[in-house]
């Protein structure tokens, strides 16, 4: 499947190219010609638009493609770590920089680590962005038995940490919050004992990653559609800058400024 698809990044790149070409033409050719004419001659509306907005569009493209990109959490697959309506920032250079059109990597960067929360282009449909936690690295043997995670034969320590309730989740007393230790990375997950265990075992292929949501019984992840190639990685989520689910008129100020782990 081709990595190319028309999205906001492609449109923004095209706008940057077009306005940049017009800006350059006006700076070194059109503007000098206008200055040679008698009287005040203004540029046309299209040229004026390009000259005015090229610097803004260029800065937005650079920041969004190579520094940080904002995302909104649309589903509950990462509850309780991320809630529906959280607005997050994603570090675009952690795993190396890629061009915004063909997603070709052109700089180095670190490799994802177990426990990282990563935004990636969904392998089934690369036009859609997903966010999950990295569970398995290339070559890892990952298993899930009776709602217990195993990595390379070692069970991830897990302990109960209360009952979790939130809009959109089953009634109180059904979903439990658990504290899981994924090879040194502690985080909370949700487990619904009323749902059947989705047992599996897999060896992660080279150059790919196994992803799972923290809402273990409410996440569409690598258990269903497979591993994520390294070329699909977008960046590492690191910060919540706003939280508002749209169904409530109130902003959740308690979540603003939260560092994502």
List residues with catalytic annotation.
77, 132
- Which helix (H) or strand (E) segment holds residue 51: the answer is helix 45-66
Q: 3-class SS at 254?
A: helix
Residues 64, 12: contact at Cβ < 8 Å?
yes
Q: 3-class SS at 46?
A: helix
Residues 136, 142: contact at Cβ < 8 Å?
yes
Cα separation of 77 and 129, whole Å? Answer: 13
- Class of residue 34 by CB neighbours under 10 A (exposed 0-12, middle 13-18, buried 19+): middle
- Separation in Å, CA 261 to CA 139, 194, 214, 232: 24, 27, 11, 21
**Total Cβ atoms within 10 A of residue 123:** 19
What is the rounded (10 degree) CA torsion for 68, 70, 73, 78? Answer: 10
Cα separation of 141 and 128, whole Å? Answer: 27
């Amino acid at each position: 499947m081709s990595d190319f698809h028309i999205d906001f990044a492609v449109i923004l790149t095209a706008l940057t190219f077009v306005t940049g070409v017009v800006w350059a033409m006006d700076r070194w050719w059109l503007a000098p010609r206008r200055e040679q004419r008698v009287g005040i001659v203004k540029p046309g509306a299209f040229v004026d638009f390009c000259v005015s907005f090229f610097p803004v569009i260029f800065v937005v493209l650079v920041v969004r493609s190579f520094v940080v990109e904002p995302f909104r959490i649309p589903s509950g697959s990462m509850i309780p770590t991320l809630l529906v309506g959280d607005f997050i920032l994603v570090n675009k250079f952690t795993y190396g920089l890629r061009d915004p059109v063909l997603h070709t990597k052109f700089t180095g960067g670190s490799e994802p680590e177990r426990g990282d929360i990563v935004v990636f282009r969904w392998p089934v449909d690369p036009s859609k962005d997903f966010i999950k936690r990295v569970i398995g690295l290339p070559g890892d043997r990952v298993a899930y038995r009776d709602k217990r995670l195993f990595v390379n034969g070692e069970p991830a320590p897990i302990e109960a940490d209360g009952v979790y309730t939130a809009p959109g989740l089953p009634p109180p007393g059904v979903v439990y919050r658990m504290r899981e230790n994924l090879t040194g990375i502690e985080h909370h997950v949700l487990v619904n004992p009323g749902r059947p265990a989705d047992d599996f075992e897999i060896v992660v292929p080279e150059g790919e990653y196994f992803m799972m949501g923290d809402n273990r019984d409410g996440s569409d992840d690598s258990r269903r559609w497979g591993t994520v190639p390294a070329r699909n990685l977008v960046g590492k989520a690191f910060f919540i800058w706003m939280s508002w689910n749209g169904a409530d008129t109130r902003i959740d100020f308690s979540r603003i400024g939260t560092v994502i782990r």
